[in-house]
Amino acid sequence: MVRAREIATVVPDDPGGHPAGHSAVGDLRGPRLLNDSDGLKAAIHDIARAHGFDVAGIVRPDALGEAKRHLAAFLAAGAQGDMHWMEDAERRGDPRVLWPDVRSIVMLGVNYGPDEDPLTILSERTRGAISVYARGDDYHDVIKPRLKAVARALIARASGDVKVFVDTAAVMEKPLAAASGLGWQGKHTNLVSREFGSWLFLGAIFITLELPPDEPERDHCGTCRACLDICPTEAFPAPYRLDARRCISYLTIEHKGPIPHELRPRMGNRIYGCDDCLAVCPWNKFAQRGREVKLSARAALTAPRLADLVRLDDRAFRALFAKTTIKRTGRDRFVRNVLIGIGNSGDMALASEAERLVSDPAPVVRGAAIWALGRLAPQRLAALAAQHRAAEADAAVADEWAVALGEATA
């Protein structure tokens, strides 16, 4: 997913979190724990809950185990696609390379469990399916101030330095969360919690103090392969292995160019992210609805009409998706995704929307519009070819014309 990358060093008077006098911090202070790592560890869970986290665990920075090797194999296969920011395996594979002073890592989770089955929307082919995590406010903006507040509470109790991360640096959050006991990485490579199922946002606090680590959670997947079998694009070449280049979340969020023709029909109406492998996990029977209002789904993003979304210009796009993670993707890539949904809708009433965008200024939009119109109304596309094709200067869009008119294969 598209992510801002930064490291936030937290100091007691950091304006990003609660002031030092905040009650949730003040009542957890006290000199008695300054040199008591066990006592401080016990207090961490109370501090975390006081600041809105649902679960916390502690792990040593050298606890990644096989995760570094798995990352190297993932990168060697080119499975990261356009996500070049993942390619610094040395930093990702050892938190001490990122920050040599770190001695312990506090992993925290916020539950964002939905109040409905995220897969129901997939049958409503003229409406867009947006991943659960993206329907509310940007989780980075919600969680980071809380991480800073927890970090300040920790250093108010004991000496030391801290850094906080929420999906913003070369940190392998999921393996670290598993090693800290928050859950385990399932066969779909995502974190699964016995208490919260698939629905945890993760944050990390690196601290210079030596804290007793928690026990890692063991793998409870057993023989189940529901997450592997449901994947519409067959993005899992084997259990516990992901090829991001085939993952709908990657394709709709990270991938900048045209989406491979082979995968477009399999996307259905998934226009931002994909919840299939998460939602089908049997451990979700224990999941709870998230309690953070800011992370709850906005009504406008629960089942939006493709006909409305495809008409968004840049200004309207920014207004609709203000303060969400979707805004980072940009209008052009988002409308590309919507056009693929339109092409898969089977609704001839949407053909005119695709036809209108055959001349859009953005090549990635034009190409998707050609594909969608070719799926819904190939005769109308053929009639437009004489008007638009000769003037097309973009090679990728020219290829879309050739494929849509049957002159080449995808």
Say which amino acid occupies 153.
A
Alpha carbon of 116 to those of 19, 62, 119, 122, 290: distances in Å?
A: 37, 39, 9, 13, 11
* Helices vs. strands in the chain: H and E counts, helices first: 18, 9
Alpha carbon of 184 to those of 10, 175, 239, 317: distances in Å?
A: 29, 8, 14, 37
Could you give the residue numbers annotated as active site? 167
DSSP state, residue 293: G
Neighbours of 76 (CB within 10 A): 9
CA distance 113 to 314: 31
Q: Assess contact for 84 and 254: CB atoms under 8 A.
A: no
Q: Assess contact for 136 and 296: CB atoms under 8 A.
A: yes
3-class DSSP state of 80:
coil
Alpha carbon of 44 to those of 17, 51, 149, 164, 199: distances in Å?
A: 17, 11, 12, 15, 22
